[in-house]
């Protein structure tokens, strides 16, 4: 569940073109209209300087609580937890609360937007780049003993199960998601 992307060539310059999920074409006006959306900092009234959980911001628990009231709660929560596994596997270390958003519908209801701003840190970890032992998730997972797990190489599937249990997400479903990868 990500925006459509394609690589296009503009005068021999390759470019990654990403479709905006926060705009739609209005056939009645013949123009683009803005679709109301808020990132998780806005939706949960958290200052933007606290976008990282490690800085006192929100994490998986708070976002999963918010998604409990989504118009598509079961699917949104499932997609969000699936995406946490994906981020871990690809080494996406910048999945902070401003990189998750909800569409605001006309009646005040909301639903999860497509995922965006996804980048793996692994390409930068070759040679003299980033040390892979230092790579951390932006949002922690629950440890099976105590505390939280942040470092990619110290995260195991059991930590997703523990996190699922903490946020009231079916642990059987969490295991199914892990098995799909």
**How confident is the model at residue 19, as a pLDDT?**
82
Which residues have a catalytic role annotated?
Answer: 94
Beta bridge partners of 5: 18
**How confident is the model at residue 129, as a pLDDT?**
67
pLDDT in tens, 34-63: 989 999 999 999 999 999 999 999 999 999
pLDDT beneath 50, residues of the chain? none
Beta strands of the chain (E only): which ranges? Answer: 5-10, 13-18, 23-26, 31-34, 37-39, 101-104, 110-112, 136-142, 148-151
**How confident is the model at residue 59, as a pLDDT?**
95
Rounded distance, CA 135 to CA 125, Å? 9
**How confident is the model at residue 131, as a pLDDT?**
73
Which residue has tokens 């959306």? 37
Q: Residue ranges per domain, the chain?
A: 36-180
Non-local (6+) Cβ contacts of 32 within 8 A are: 23, 24, 25, 26
């Amino acid at each position: 569940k990500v925006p459509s992307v394609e690589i296009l060539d503009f005068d021999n310059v390759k470019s990654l073109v990403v479709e905006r999920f926060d705009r739609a074409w209005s056939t009645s006006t013949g123009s683009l209209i803005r679709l109301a959306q808020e990132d998780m900092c806005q939706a949960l009234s958290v200052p933007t300087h606290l976008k990282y959980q490690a800085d006192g911001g929100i994490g998986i628990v708070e976002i999963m609580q918010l998604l409990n009231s989504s118009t598509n709660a079961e699917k949104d929560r499932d997609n969000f937890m699936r995406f946490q596994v994906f981020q871990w596997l690809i080494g996406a270390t910048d999945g902070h609360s401003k990189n998750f958003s909800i569409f605001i519908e006309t009646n005040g209801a909301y639903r999860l937007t497509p995922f965006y701003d996804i980048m793996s840190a692994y390409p930068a970890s070759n040679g003299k780049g980033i040390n892979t032992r230092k790579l951390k998730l932006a949002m922690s997972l629950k440890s099976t003993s105590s505390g939280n797990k942040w470092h990619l190489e110290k995260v195991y599937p059991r930590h997703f199960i523990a996190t699922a249990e903490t946020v009231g997400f079916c642990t059987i479903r969490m295991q199914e998601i892990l098995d799909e990868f």
